[in-house]
Copies of this chain bind each other. A is one copy, B any other.
Amino acid sequence: MPTVRLFDRDHPLTLASGAMIDQVDVAYTTHGTLNAAGDNAIFVCHALTGDSHVAGVDENGRRGWWDTMVGPGRPLDTDRYFVICPNLLGGCRGTTGPSCARADGGEAWGLDFPLLQMADLVRVHRALLDHLGVDRLHAAVGGSLGGMQVLEWTLTHPGQIDRAVIIAASSRLTAQNIAFSAVAREAILRDPGFAGGRYAERGTTPATGLSIARMMAHITYLSEEAMSEKFGRRFQSPDRAGGGFGVDFAVESYLAHQAKSFLTRFDAMSYLYLTRVMDYFDPFAGPAAAAGAVDAGTDFLIMSFDSDWRFDSGHSLRIVRELEQAGAPVTFREIPSPWGHDSFLLELPAYQSTVAAFLDSPARARAVAA
């Protein structure tokens, strides 16, 4: 996948906090073709542990994390749209994050990497758009943290996004949401292998902490009903019953598998930095925060899933309420699905047809102009 250096020592990235990052590379993929009018681009913002491999099959034979949503004939139809999906600032899948070197050949940032805010993630992605020569987006689409980023973008940079699709997201984490992330971070930080963030240099690994974080997160990504349906109280193998403190139940095997595969692809420090971005995100805290986006003609589709308890429909309805109070055109859909927060990654007809229809709708700003 392409990687581009968007900030360097001569043009460093200045964060919303005022801190600077002297070198930022961004990994991204594109699917489809930008048309002559330059008005068919859709930007996909991935969730906490996602990456730029959104669709198709990569060199390792892995399907993209949203291959059900992005591709020819899919809701984000790559025969019609030019789909852009980068990895996040602070991530670990090709875009600069805390485990990267400060500048060419320098030592890794580690915990000296500055704290990030949602605005910083947007800043880097807007720089990528400039690089690609795209001024305006047909749509920006994201689930969970990705949806939060789309919301930040529409509110702070009105006029760039015609349609915003914000799925299973939040404009304000609850105490419980923060608590789950706090325990995950504690597991990572207290793992002796974390070594104060210097694990790569030391040759250690915070595998235990990251595994615990991932297992706990997966409990919150599935509804209790879905877990019961998928695993119930089944034993992993009949002779394991009563085996002790290992993998006796099928649900234990599922968690162990999720943790193991996560270790091959994710970095513990990215987990710390990106969860903290979510904790602090509170874009409607200021007065009339939504007014700019409304004036600029962004249409919003806010979606939730009825069994999602990580970010339940109340989170989405809060976004709807805030936007509506500012006069924005908002469509809200709660999609019935038993699969909890994970639903946003799954192939669900009502979900996909709603996204497809919204992307196909005429843009309000353009309609007004015409």
Contacts and interface: CB of A to CB of B under 8 A. Distances in A.
A291 interface: no
Interface in A207-221: 208, 211-212, 215-216, 219
A180 to B, nearest CB: 6
Q: How many copies of this chain?
A: 2
B174 A190 contact: no
A179 B233 contact: no
B174 A249 contact: no
Contacts of A115: 242, 244
Nearest to A234: B175
Contacts of A3: none
Nearest to A183: B215
A60 B174 CA distance: 36
A6 interface: no
Contacts of A248: 279
Contact count band on A: 35 or more
Interface stretch (A134-142, A223-231, A349-357, A362-370): A223-231
Closest A-B pairs by Cβ, 8 of them: A175-B227, A175-B251, A175-B231, A190-B208, A176-B224, A183-B215, A182-B252, A176-B227
Interface of A: 17, 111, 115, 172-176, 178-180, 182-183, 185-187, 189-192, 208, 211-212, 215-216, 219, 222, 224, 227-228, 230-233, 242, 244-245, 248-252, 255, 272, 276, 279-280, 282
Given A17-B242, A176-B219, A176-B251, 16 more contacts: A173-B233, A174-B228, A175-B228, A176-B224, A176-B228, A178-B251, A179-B255, A180-B219, A182-B249, A186-B211, A186-B255, A190-B208, A190-B211, A216-B216, A242-B280, A245-B276
